[in-house]
Structure 1
């Protein structure tokens, strides 16, 4: 065989190899371009909220995400030509325990179903202990109030577990009043010497009559006087996120109203189980009460663990 023929064969072999490499690269690039992208934190503290984001360059027909037995179908939006679904989850310092928990994601993309599962490590946190002295009836309620308290709990459970389709919230949320923060989330409560449930909200100092603002756009779910929480307002912000405002002296909204972020919804008071005027604010995420500081202080990327 002549040297020229050998060179020609080697050249042809090189072209074939190069063609295969280019084709493989194009296939990988095409697959990456069409892939579903998932963002979520690897770990979160007990009581902390976090976010899960599903992104695709294709059309997302539907997305469902399951966490701790609760399935959510987040709203799908278009952003820079991509389909994006964002959902908030969390754990409750009273109801949940530390450990590895599984996240299940089901996606229908251009008619094709895809399933994913991921692990998130929930770790324990240290919370303060608070000792408070209150009227005895607010620690051990009289028998004639027990039926009322039972009805209160039914109403509260229904409000906390509300799932509406449209997401109206963005983080960070607006601070609900001007006063300084006082009792933190997670504090273990000792009331009149008796151990009680941990504090599952955030308290703000303020004089009676001080304005309270809606933390995000939303719909007024519940306006009621409850035995422990006093005058209370519950706002639905969509996709399982509900904010709660307790111990009010005055209501400035009614059930069914649509409110805007920053709108005055009520006034600080001292109704219900209190030691003085203040606002107790809680955030419910898929029915679990989470630490409000995280939605007040962190942006989307931080809640995604990015």
Structure 2
């Protein structure tokens, strides 16, 4: 049989060439198809958060940005960004941080957190899942004056006005954030009642404890947890003499049951400044400070964000009141 000269060699060479081309092109095509979408900004947040706690989310961009917008629990929160250099001589980056709540009543097992560069953006450029878990919340039984368990009818209007005053104070906004973590401890005393306790007053179940009770002697100084502006000073039916401070970006602290407030609404206060004296006004069993932390309209546990107790130096009583 006659065959073309070198015919047996050409076909294998051609096959080898085609195989080589496919071997080079196919992985490139697969790699291109599987490549993840590049996020325009870097978004960081804890993987899990306890219900009742707050956490800080952060957006970092290598490109200049005026601010960032965070998307959490169906709401948008726009905050300013700041230019920082993590290492001397390094290129600057732009960073925006926001404190966010994981409320006690949230039923979901995880929530989506989104963010984008800019204060006016409408859609997230980066997303993360934040898992939620429960802490054990024990029951606390207390005996108080019966008027604080079943308030007299004539006090109903006052209680309603108190709630309206607090709501109006918490609706105030500051143009920029003034808090830094950890927050200063307002008194050196240890914890007497945890946040989230299930309260029973005079044998009757009531709502959860929405603050942190810290031990303190009558008349001892109470200090601001961070810089801010005083949003409310008033004598409230349940809270007694109370001071609320706005720290910006939706973060407020409240200081309840004071014997005497020492600041006025609208006053700018500095971290560590004495703002009042420990007392036993309102619904209490004795002198102490009820510290509240409200983040984006939700009461959360202040304790994880406070400086350790050993870092606080006890201060002398102010105002000449006896301990």
Question: Normalising TM by the smaller chain, what interval?
Answer: 0.7 to 0.9
Report what 2:18 is aligned to: none
Report what 1:62 is aligned to: 67
Contact in 2 for aligned 1:98/1:123 (Cα 8 Å): no
Alignment of 1:88-237 (within 5 A): 88-93=99-104, 95-108=105-118, 115-237=125-247
* 2: CA distance, partners of 1:97 / 1:174: 31
Contact in 2 for aligned 1:36/1:54 (Cα 8 Å): yes
> What secondary structure, in the 3-state scheme, does the structure 2 residue paired with 1:60 have?
coil
> What secondary structure, in the 3-state scheme, does the structure 1 residue paired with 2:147 have?
helix
Say which of 94, 119, 131 aligns to 1:83. 94
Measured against aligned partners, the alpha-carbon deviations of 1:148-207 in whole angstroms (never above 9, x if no partner) come to: 111111121232343322111110010101222210111110111111111111111112
Measured against aligned partners, the alpha-carbon deviations of 1:4-60 in whole angstroms (never above 9, x if no partner) come to: xxxxxxxxxxxxx9xxx9xxxxxx9xx98x941111111101101111100001011
Measured against aligned partners, the alpha-carbon deviations of 1:106-140 in whole angstroms (never above 9, x if no partner) come to: 3239x998633332111122111100011111011
Say which of 275, 281, 292 aligns to 1:271. 281
Higher RCO, 1 or 2 (CA under 8 Å, sep at least 6)? 1
> What secondary structure, in the 3-state scheme, does the structure 2 residue paired with 1:73 have?
strand
Report what 1:12 is aligned to: none
> What secondary structure, in the 3-state scheme, does the structure 2 residue paired with 1:137 have?
helix
* 2: CA distance, partners of 1:269 / 1:199: 19
Report what 1:244 is aligned to: 254
Note the residue ranges of structure 1 that are not aligned, 5 or more in a row. 1-16, 22-27, 299-306
**Cα offset, 1:264, TM superposition:** 0.3
* 1: CA distance, partners of 2:237 / 2:75: 29
> What secondary structure, in the 3-state scheme, does the structure 2 residue paired with 1:127 have?
coil
Measured against aligned partners, the alpha-carbon deviations of 1:198-250 in whole angstroms (never above 9, x if no partner) come to: 11111111121100000101100000111000000000111011000000011
**Cα offset, 1:92, TM superposition:** 2.6
Measured against aligned partners, the alpha-carbon deviations of 1:55-87 in whole angstroms (never above 9, x if no partner) come to: 001011331112223321122111111110000
> What secondary structure, in the 3-state scheme, does the structure 2 residue paired with 1:245 have?
strand
1:53 aligns with 2:58: yes
Moved more, 261-270 or 155-164: 155-164
1:42 aligns with 2:52: no
Contact in 2 for aligned 1:75/1:239 (Cα 8 Å): no
Q: Which runs of 4+ in 1 moved over 6 A?
A: none
TM-score, with length taken from structure 2: 0.78
> What secondary structure, in the 3-state scheme, does the structure 1 residue paired with 2:207 have?
coil
Residues 123 and 290 from structure 1, CA distance in 2 versus in 1: closer, same or farther, beyond 3 angstroms? Answer: same
> What secondary structure, in the 3-state scheme, does the structure 1 residue paired with 2:286 have?
coil
Structure with bigger gyration radius: 2
What is the aligned-residue RMSD (CA, Å)?
2.4
